Amino acid sequence: MESIPFEHGLMLAATLFCLGLIGVMTRRNIVFVLMSLEIMLNASGLAFIVSGSRWGGADGQVMFLMILTLAAAEVAVGLGLIIQLYKRFKTIDIDVLSALKG
Amino acid sequence: MFESLGWLPTFPLLGFLILFLSGGGLPKRLIAVIGAGSIGLAFVAAIVVALPIISGDAEVIVHEVYTWMAVGSFNSAFGMYLDGLSVVMILVITGVGFLIHLYSTGFMIDDPSYSRFFAIMNLFVAAMLVLVLADNLLLLYLGWEGVGLCSYLLIGFWYQDPANGYAARKAFVTTRVGDTSMAIGLFLIFTQLGSLDIQESMALAQGEWGLGSGYAVAAALLLLGGAVGKSAQLPLQTWLPDAMAGPTPISALIHAATMVTAGVYLIARTHALFELAPDVQLLVALIGLATLLIAGFTAMTQHDIKRILAYSTISQIGYMFLGLGVGAWSASIFHLMTHAFFKALLFLAAGTVILSLHHEHDIFKMGGKWRQLPVAFASFLIGSLALAAFPYTSGYFSKDEILLAALELEHTGFWLWLGGVVGAFFTGIYSFRLVFVVFFGESAGHHEAREVTGVSMAAPLLVLMVLALAGGLIHVPTESVFAASEHGEHHVSALMHSIMIAVPLLGIALSYLFYGSRTLSVERLMSNTIAQGLHKFWFAGWGFDGLYRRLLITPYVWLAAVNKRDVVDTAAGLLVTLSEAGNSLLTRSQSGSLRWYILSVVGGTVLLITLGGVL
Amino acid sequence: MTELFYSGAVVAVIATLLVIVQTNVVHALIYLVLSLLAVAVVFFSVGAPFVAILEAIVYAGAIMVLFLFVVMMLNLGQRSRDQEKDWLPARSWLVPSVLAAVLLMQLTASFPAAQTQIVEVGARAVSELLFGPYVLAVELASFLLLAGLVSAYHIAKK
């Protein structure tokens, strides 16, 4: 039976998560921010799958399914917001969203 | 109905309330009736209440009207105490007060604030009656403060002119210094003796504090401070000349007959305490002597008719203090009474002169007015004779008694007597200087002036003239009060006696030579530089105003200017300042930038995980 | 299997890295699709073929395509590409990288040591769970999708 060290799987998930985090923090284009969020979601799903595989059950996969559903709904709403942003401000720069200043 | 002593202050108080609450809307005749009538009723009540004491049936009448406060062992009540001393005071206050109110109904008839005038006058009489009838020092202090308040309101009666407001504030603040001293004295008496009831505390003091004990000296000094403030003696005498800014009737009532005598009354009331501290008593006499001399010098140089009378008042109260200081209690009270008569007469006559000459105050712009102002002339003549202690006027008897009593004192008695005699010399000079300059000689202005009189103004003057002449025959029923302290008949040599009679006459003669017949020239006297310097110095009241300005007022104003951004306020607002600073600091973290928020979320998460791992 | 795992992992990391540093949106999307496919390979290699396919079809196939539609619709053009370059100076990467690195270190420190046996858990096992204990979760997921649908419609409307 082949086996993969558990830490390596989780390490992969953590790496991808942190990369996505960097993207969210750094980028000014809202589309990129949303993409980075997707990366993060995907990474957490990966963590679930690897953990589920470690225990040998299907629960990890079920959880991933839920995450997938969540990601889908979130992307739909997020893209709608992006469209609104573009319509209103004619730009995709998130720095214009500063009405909560002060 | 009149058995109750409480009715006495109630009549004027009711007058005040009616006039105050009606807000000046009543017709003038009604205001006059209420204003003067309430004092008249009080006078009648005073006579009724005083009869038993005068006739000798009773020595003391006590009546408690109302319990004011009872806290623990401290019980203070509105208690009224009537004895010979209070009888003299209430009769003077209500009697002379009524005459002055009657005069004012005519004098103030053209004033728009007629109602306010009588309202405050009534309140004043009520407060003064409370002061003299109080059986405990706390109630006395209530009356004390009340008269101070009314004095302020009345000096600044014509408040549209800021100078009047300034004079009123000056009077109030100066007497306040004295009031504070008196309050501390009250605290001392209460904490040491446990009671503020006058008779009780005096008895306790005699028992617990021996002769010359520190507490007695301290308490007497503090009470003296209060008396000095209210009675315009050294060093707090600067307010009285400026208080002449008020209408003349109030100068007559408050600053001649009644309020300024409150200090004399206080010392007479607490005479047992002063007898326990002979050094303080001597100080009283010395203050009286110094004041009467200083005021006498100053009065000789003044040219405002009311200021001359004001300095004269200060000087005469100095005589009363002198009498108190040598232990001549009854004599001082007697002089208080006669002074009330002739000084009120002089002030009211001055009011007539001023009104008739269209508000002219400068005596050197008058002259030769005896034909035009007959009633005023007669009043001034009689009043000045009494003031200068012309033989057989009321002033003569009372001043004589004080000076004779002064002689009785060993060591310093002679010097006190001598000072009093010198003062009498000056009194003669300045009082008749006034008479000669105003009523004789060439007219320097207002040639067509006619006297302003009506029954309401002439009648009080006539009554006061009679009292000023015959008042010396009134017997003051204060033997029972001062029984333990009085001396017997005075025996002095004929020489001393004749000196005392002759000196005022010399003064009158001297002023006749200068101002009456113009035999001696004032101008030649004044051409000397030394004389000019002295004149300037005495004219400024011996420089006290300037001294106080430099010593007290200027540093205080400087301090207030330095503290413009109020140190205490800043400290109190420190919390606010800190909160605002914290707020402005923290709002900078709300930049509105989404990326900043994300960054802070991640940073916070990392921090939390770190802390979770560490702790 | 293990080689598949590691190669898939390497590709995924590199592709993700390229996604976040891209200036061109469409290129970034393509790289993201690549990353997702690599992760699908990883799924397959740890014995979850069902979700591997699901990842490829749903995530890479539907969600990314949705992204692409919107990006095309926005039609940003050259100006936006230049803008992107302006917005990404070198120093703007510093702080986020540091924070993320710290987070990574903290996460790494918490991993338990274990070995994952590669057992293939097929679709049948997953469906048994979905219709069994997790049926409620399925229903909730459908609510979520409905809510997402309705809100997306309304938000994107005028």
- Residue A83 and residue C74: Cβ atoms within 8 Å? yes
| Chain A CB within 8 Å of residue B589 CB | no
Tell me the sheet residues that pair with C115: A5
* Contacting residues of A for C116, CB less than 8 Å apart: 3-6, 9, 50, 53-54
Q: Which residue has the higher pLDDT, B541 or C31?
A: C31
Provide the chain A residues 76-95 that lie in CB contact (below 8 A) with chain B. 94-95
Q: Which chains touch C (3 or more CB pairs under 8 A)?
A: A, B
Closest B-chain CA to A96: B593
- Express each pLDDT in B196-240 by its tens digit: 888 888 888 888 887 877 888 999 999 999 999 998 888 888 899
- Residue A25 and residue B595: Cβ atoms within 8 Å? yes
| Chain A CB within 8 Å of residue B584 CB | no
Q: What are the phi and psi torsion angles at B69 (to 5°)?
A: -150, 145
Q: Which residue has the higher pLDDT, B592 or B488?
A: B592
Closest C-chain CA to A68: C59
Q: What are the phi and psi torsion angles at B346 (to 5°)?
A: -65, -45
| Chain C CB within 8 Å of residue A53 CB | yes
- Give yes or no for residue B2 having a pLDDT over 70: no
The pLDDT value given to residue A24: 92
- Express each pLDDT in B307-316 by its tens digit: 999 999 999 9
- Percent helix, strand, coil in chain A (nearest 5)? 80, 5, 15
DSSP string, C78-100: HHHHHHHHHH--GGGGHHHHHHH
Span of B51-65, B393-407, B418-432, C139-153 with lowest mean pLDDT: B51-65
- Express each pLDDT in C19-48 by its tens digit: 999 888 899 999 999 999 999 999 999 989
Residues B527, B518: Cα–Cα separation, whole Å: 16
- Residue C116 and residue A28: Cβ atoms within 8 Å? no
Helix (H, G, I), strand (E, B) or coil at A82: helix
The overall average pLDDT reported for chain B is 86
The pLDDT value given to residue B1: 45
- Give yes or no for residue B57 having a pLDDT over 70: no
Confidence of residue B606 (pLDDT cuts 50, 70, 90): very high
Tell me the shortest Cα–Cα distance from A34 to chain C, in angstroms: 9
Tell me the shortest Cα–Cα distance from A54 to chain B, in angstroms: 25
Neighbours of B131 (CB within 10 A): 27
Span of B38-42, B159-163, B259-263, B283-287 with lowest mean pLDDT: B259-263
Under 8 Å between Cβ of B196 and B76: yes
The pLDDT value given to residue C102: 92
Q: Which residue has the higher pLDDT, C112 or A17?
A: A17
- Give yes or no for residue A12 having a pLDDT over 90: yes
The pLDDT value given to residue A16: 96
- What is the ipTM, given to two decimal places? 0.91
| Chain A CB within 8 Å of residue B590 CB | yes
Share of chain B above pLDDT 70, in %: 96
Q: Specify the DSSP class assigned to residue B259.
A: G
Residues B83, B476: Cα–Cα separation, whole Å: 11
- Express each pLDDT in B263-300 by its tens digit: 999 999 998 888 888 889 899 999 999 999 999 999 98
Span of A57-66, A91-100, B94-103 with lowest mean pLDDT: A91-100
The pLDDT value given to residue B181: 94
Q: Provide the pairing of β-strand A3-5 with C115-117.
A: antiparallel
The H-assigned helical ranges of chain A are: 6-26, 30-55, 59-89
Run of H or E residues at B63: strand B61-71
* Contacting residues of A for B598, CB less than 8 Å apart: 24-25
Provide the chain A residues 16-75 that lie in CB contact (below 8 A) with chain B. 21, 24-26, 28
Closest B-chain CA to C93: B599
* Contacting residues of C for B602, CB less than 8 Å apart: 96, 99-100, 103
- Residue B606 and residue C95: Cβ atoms within 8 Å? no
- Residue B610 and residue C106: Cβ atoms within 8 Å? yes
* Contacting residues of B for A101, CB less than 8 Å apart: 590-592
> Which of B597, B601, B606, B608 would you mutate first to test chain C, the one with the most C CBs within 10 A?
B606
Question: What would the mean pLDDT of B547-569 be, rounded to a whole number?
Answer: 86
Share of chain B above pLDDT 90, in %: 30
- Residue B591 and residue A98: Cβ atoms within 8 Å? yes
The pLDDT value given to residue B117: 92
Under 8 Å between Cβ of A61 and A52: yes
Run of H or E residues at C109: helix C94-109
Under 8 Å between Cβ of B214 and B279: no
The pLDDT value given to residue B491: 64
Q: Is the peptide bond before B235 cis (omega within 30 degrees of 0)?
A: yes
- Give yes or no for residue B372 having a pLDDT over 90: no
| Chain A CB within 8 Å of residue B595 CB | yes
In b/e form, how buried is each residue of B240-255, taking b as 16+ CB within 10 angstroms?
Answer: bbbbbbbbbbbbbbbb
Tell me the shortest Cα–Cα distance from C21 to chain B, in angstroms: 17
Question: What would the mean pLDDT of B250-275 be, rounded to a whole number?
Answer: 87
- Residue A101 and residue B602: Cβ atoms within 8 Å? no
- Residue B593 and residue A98: Cβ atoms within 8 Å? yes
Radius of gyration over every alpha carbon of chain C, rounded to an integer in angstroms: 20
Confidence of residue B182 (pLDDT cuts 50, 70, 90): very high
Question: What would the mean pLDDT of B488-503 be, rounded to a whole number?
Answer: 76
Residues B272, B269: Cα–Cα separation, whole Å: 8
Tell me the shortest Cα–Cα distance from C70 to chain B, in angstroms: 22
The pLDDT value given to residue B482: 72
Measure CB to CB from residue A3 to each of C93, C115, C155 and give the nearest one.
C115
- Express each pLDDT in C70-98 by its tens digit: 999 888 777 777 777 777 788 888 989 99
